[in-house]
Amino acid sequence: MPASDAADGDILRFADVAFSWRQGDAFRLEIEGFAVQRGESLLIMGPSGSGKSTFLSLACGIVSPERGEIAVAGATISDLRGAALDRFRAEHFGIIFQMFNLLPYGSIVDNVLLPLIFARERRSRASYDGDPAEEARRLLARLGLESALHRRSAPTLSVGQQQRVAVARALIGSPAVVIADEPTSALDRDHQQAFLDLLFEEAERAGATLVMVSHDATMAPRFQRTVELGSLMRQN
């Protein structure tokens, strides 16, 4: 369903959104209005427990708001349910989870290809130059994992290698929005910078909007815009 008044340049928009995990919960996320531009790189800052992961879950439809509208690419995802929502998320979002969420029994390439099972258009984009498995191997090699491709399953990789598999999975098929939940938290400073170099380069190559949440203010200069989550919250 088209969003009623989404701006042409907005890829993601929150309007009068409210959410809490349980009725009467002391934590409540309320955002009166917020938008992310197409192609923008955005860092959302906030301390642990401030609602950063909840914000991302709302943005990509993992959870639904109690009230309000969330629009992505001109569609109101807060109105979608079930299989329709799953297909929309697979088509439009590449998600780098904090815990990576890799399939323990799938190969490394299988893990990267997973979103394409549910997303016809995204699979078509990944197949533009041939077999999507070849695009998966290209991304993995670009992310420094060419020597690990012979391994049968994700648990045999180091934490840093698993993280890069998660990035390749998020980027394959050029999704409109890449969502990253504290993806550098397990890395030291040097590896953080190298990881961000690769993430930005591949997101730009895919033409994707990048939205990352973190509590680490030292990353802010890398992004076009930085926002404190608390500044988005409705003040009662």
Quote the pLDDT of residue 1: 36
**How confident is residue 99, by pLDDT bands cut at 50, 70 and 90?**
confident
Please tell me the least confidently modeled range out of 27-31, 35-39, 75-79, 143-147: 143-147
Choose the most confident range, by mean pLDDT, from 44-53, 104-113, 170-179.
Answer: 170-179
- Does 6 have pLDDT greater than 70? no
**How confident is residue 97, by pLDDT bands cut at 50, 70 and 90?**
confident
- Integer angstrom CA distances of residue 71 from 29, 211, 224, 226, 232: 17, 15, 21, 21, 17
Quote the pLDDT of residue 26: 67
Per-residue DSSP letters for 14-36?
Answer: EEEEEE-SSTT-S--EEEEEEEE
Arithmetic mean of pLDDT, 14-19: 94
Per-residue DSSP letters for 95-121?
Answer: EE-TT----TTS-HHHHHHGGGGG-HH
- Does 49 have pLDDT greater than 60? yes
Q: What percent of the chain has pLDDT over 90?
A: 49
- Does 21 have pLDDT greater than 50? yes
pTM of the entire structure? Answer: 0.87
Query: Residue 164: in which H helix or E strand, if any?
Result: helix 159-171
> Each residue of 104-129: pLDDT tens digit?
888 899 999 999 998 999 999 998 67
Quote the pLDDT of residue 8: 59
Please tell me the least confidently modeled range out of 133-137, 194-198, 209-213: 194-198
Quote the pLDDT of residue 227: 95
- Does 23 have pLDDT greater than 90? no
Quote the pLDDT of residue 85: 93
